Amino acid sequence: FDLNRDLVQKEFPEVYTCHCNVFTPSTGARPYGLHHASSLGFQHPFFFKDKLFAPEKHMSFHATVLETDSTLGFTIFDGHTPEAFEIAFPARQVHLKGGKVLDETEIHLVRASLLALPQVQRYIPVDKVSVIAPQTQVRALMDFVVAAYWATEACGDPKYARGGQGTIWETKPGQALILNNWRAHGDNPEVPPEVKEKDGLRVSIDLRCFSKMKLPRGAKTEADV
């Protein structure tokens, strides 16, 4: 951040705090895939009612570190309206409209994923809880539910389809994409087997920056909760 402070503040004047993510998907492994950012403040009603952990703006400066094969571009859905929501919302939309796009098994998996999430289980009677997702899988389950919701929205009735086409960016080392992290984005689904190991390592660093957010007393970041 210190090396790029002027650039970050020029592109995102509201910047208040930042942290870094490092991504290293290699040949034979699947990158994270389609997703958007989330925040505790939008996932938990008891935080949101007091606007805690709910920054209005969330920007990424996603920089490429190593040269990669051209098939490993980064995709941004420029037509997707930035959004953040409590996870029950997309699951409810899949339940109401998903039958036109998703098959019965996919809709069942969305429902099962939702019910396995800790933030949902607090509203379910204990005797109805059958699976508790480990913390390492919570984010993946959330993104599966959201991806199913986006499929329902983008692939259903053409009159209501939204999101548009994705733009694939083939960045060079040292170049960075600046994107609204509430917008749908992601890597290609997997590194092709024919890509050599030396070319298959897609290393990038994401400087994720937030506008000012309200925090509870004693907390500096979401990690303190």
Strand pairing of 74-76 and 185-187? antiparallel
pTM of the model: 0.81
Output the pLDDT for position 96. 85
The residue that leads in pLDDT, 121 or 86, is 86
Output the pLDDT for position 36. 92
Q: State how far the alpha carbon of 103 is from the alpha carbons of 39, 110, 115, in Å.
A: 30, 11, 19
In this structure, what token pair is assigned to residue 136?
A: 């390492």
The residue that leads in pLDDT, 120 or 164, is 120
Cα angle at 19 between 13 and 20, to 5 degrees?
A: 115
CA 113 and chain centroid, separation: 16
pLDDT in tens, 4-63: 889 999 999 999 988 888 887 666 666 677 899 988 888 887 888 888 888 999 999 999
Decide: helix, strand or coil at residue 136: helix
Contact 48, 155 (CB under 8 A): no
Confidence of residue 114 (pLDDT cuts 50, 70, 90): confident
Q: How far apart are CA 212 and CA 41, in angstroms?
A: 13
In this structure, what token pair is assigned to residue 152?
A: 């329902």
Residue of 119, 17, 87 whose CA lies nearest to 59: 17
pLDDT in tens, 141-185: 899 999 999 888 887 666 655 666 788 888 888 889 999 999 999
